[in-house]
Amino acid sequence: MTTTPQVNPVLRTPPASPAAAAAYFSASLAFHADVSDVASVLAAFAAGGANPGFVLVDTRSTAAWDQGHVPGAVHLPTALVPERAEDLLDRSVPVVTYCWGPGCNGATRAALALAERGFQVKEMLGGFEYWVREGFAYETWEGPAEKAADPLTAPVGTGDCGC
């Protein structure tokens, strides 16, 4: 009886070399921002700290914006980037885009459209969904709102996940 060796599905394709992995992950950080990092910088600015050095752009529809958005964000739906970006944004200030969440690529499409127009841009990983799930305050058409942090996305009792 011949047995076929089991293939480890994780290592079926071997890991990249350390140098290739370092290049990949370094590039990834150049394109993405974490929700918690964005929140901490915006909170420091709101408390009288230094200018955050970027503008946060909500790329969703007006109905989505009204349902909830990050305080201080600029509303620029993805479809309107070609006609409105020049009026709303300054090319010398990096832009961080967000949409609904990990299942939506609206922020990615907006980031592409902005980059094609000469803007420096990153995408906020997790989007509005993770902003709310991590317990950060947001605004709706009715006013400020906040929900308790989801313990599956943020540590309970501390604002620092230690990442």
Cβ proximity of 23 and 30 under 8 Å: no
Q: Quick one: CA dihedral 47, 97, 117, 86, positive or negative?
A: negative
Tell me if residue 69 falls in helix, strand or coil.
strand
| pLDDT of res. 162 | 67
Closest CA to 60 of 81, 36, 86: 81
Q: Which pLDDT band holds residue 158 (cuts at 50, 70, 90)?
A: low
Sole residue written with tokens 């058409």? 141
Beta strands (DSSP E) in 73-128 are 74-75, 95-98, 121-125
Q: Residue 121 pLDDT > 90, yes or no?
A: yes
Q: Residue 72 pLDDT > 70, yes or no?
A: yes
| pLDDT of res. 149 | 87
Percent of the chain with pLDDT over 70: 95
Q: Which residues contact 76 (CB under 8 A, 6 or more apart)?
A: 57, 58, 59, 84, 85, 88, 89, 110
d(CA 116, CA 142): 35
| pLDDT of res. 128 | 97
d(CA 61, CA 20): 38
Q: What is the pLDDT of residues 50-69, one digit of tens each?
A: 899 999 999 999 999 999 99
| pLDDT of res. 154 | 75
Q: State mean pLDDT over 130-136.
A: 94
| pLDDT of res. 136 | 94
DSSP letter at 13 equals S
